Amino acid sequence: MNRSFKLKNILFILLFTIAISFSKSCGTTSFGLRADSLFLMTQNSVITYDLKRPDEKHFLPYVLAEISGLSHTGKSLLAVDDETGKVFEYDLDKREIIHSIGFSKPGDYEGVELVGNKIFVLESDGDIYSFDYTKSKKADAKKVENKLSRENDTEGLGFDPYLNRLIIVCKEKAEVDGNDVRGRAVYSYDLEKEKLSKKPFLNIRKKDLKNFWEEHKTFEYDQDRIKFKPSAIAFNPIEETFYILSSVGKLLVVVSRDGSIKATYPISPRVLSQPEGLCFAPNGDMYISSEGEGDRGYIVKFSMQKK
């Protein structure tokens, strides 16, 4: 048997083996769908978003490389970062920061929410800072402590317009002041009484996600890869639901007011490398911020769609 014949046989066997392996691994399901099946995209409402195709992308100045929270003013976005103790106002049309307000010393700030003319900022230990929006460079902020702590690792701040309460999502420990809670808890904060709820307003457990996916799945998913540690929460004014974002696990979960899961979205790391902030425009468009690609943070916009 000559050398040329041997090489041809080896090449044929190699190509045949690759083809068989590819066929077994992909089957009739594309690689993209198999990747999505890690978290199982589902949707059972009339409103949806295409998280693979942002409508806009805004690269931010270096000062917001560690962007961690967002709030929509109606015309612009308010953003807070992990460290500076400032709230930044970002003009979406001009694509630049047009104002900043210093409210405290450097710290670990995770969420920001505008309610009326008042700005609220959440620290990772659950403390809440509040101050009036001002054109001044500094604000006289009031700090309110509560039963939340660094063990809860509070990373998301939103607002419930029906109850006139802030909503705070915990990334880690769900228990507060000895209550027996498991899963990922969302607590409400009464703005009039300046008091935190004793029980979670919402609570998402791993088994709740699993049950939802088992009911709606169209193909198998890898349960061992499921991770859900919330980094942001926001109220959708059109759908009147709560969207909970998890940077760990790259997942977006939609929850109704009664706590039932309505939809889940997998997030592509190529679109959002480290999503930390979330908010909605009055028309339902969704904005998600991500910490820097290298050293620049950015914000992406997803237009609301209706089925």
Are 19 and 94 within one domain? no
Q: How far apart are the C-alpha atoms of 184 and 174, rounded to whole Å?
A: 6
State the CATH number of the domain containing residue 120.
2.120.10
Q: Domain span at residue 120?
A: 37-306
pLDDT digits (tens, 9 = 90+) for 217-229: 766 666 666 789 9
In this structure, the answer to whether residues 248 and 270 fall within a common structural domain is yes
Give dist(CA 25, CA 295) in Å, integer.
37
18 & 50 share domain: no
Residues 160 and 22 in one domain: no
Residues 135 and 260 in one domain: yes
The answer to whether 255 and 241 have CB atoms below 8 angstroms apart is yes
Between CA 219 and CA 204, with CA 233 as vertex, the angle to 5 degrees is: 55
Q: Is the separation of the CB atoms in 165 and 202 below 8 Å?
A: no
- The verdict on 164 and 269 lying in the same domain is yes
Share of the chain above pLDDT 90, in %: 65
**Whether residues 237 and 97 fall in one domain:** yes
Burial classification of residue 9, based on how many CB atoms lie within 10 Å of its CB (0-12 exposed, 13-18 middle, 19 or more buried): exposed
Residue 94 and residue 5 share a domain: no
Question: How far is Cα 178 from Cα 104, in angstroms, rounded to an integer?
Answer: 30
Q: Which DSSP string corresponds to 255-296?
A: E-TTS-EEEEEE--TTT-SSEEEEEE-TTS-EEEEE--SSS-
- Within 10 Å of residue 70's Cβ, how many Cβ atoms? 25
Paired with 195 in beta bridges are 190
The neighbouring-strand residues paired with 138 are 102
In tens digits, the chain (307 residues) has pLDDT values of 454 444 444 444 444 443 434 333 333 344 344 444 444 556 666 788 999 999 999 999 999 999 999 999 999 999 999 889 999 999 999 999 999 999 999 999 999 999 999 999 999 999 999 999 999 999 999 999 999 999 999 999 999 999 999 999 999 999 998 888 889 999 999 999 999 999 999 999 988 988 888 887 766 666 666 789 999 999 999 999 999 999 988 899 999 999 999 998 888 888 999 999 999 999 999 999 998 766 789 999 999 998 7
Dist CA 181 CA 178 (whole Å): 9
Q: Are residues 5 and 75 in the same domain?
A: no
Specify which residues 306 forms β-bridges with.
47
Predicted model pTM: 0.86
Q: What is the predicted pLDDT for the residue at 111?
A: 97
Q: Looking at the structure, do residues 21 and 75 belong to the same domain, yes or no?
A: no
How many domains are there within the chain? Answer: 2
pLDDT of 40 reads 55
pLDDT in tens, 45-92: 678 899 999 999 999 999 999 999 999 999 999 999 988 999 999 999
Q: Are residues 152 and 268 in the same domain?
A: yes
* Same domain as 47, residue 15: no
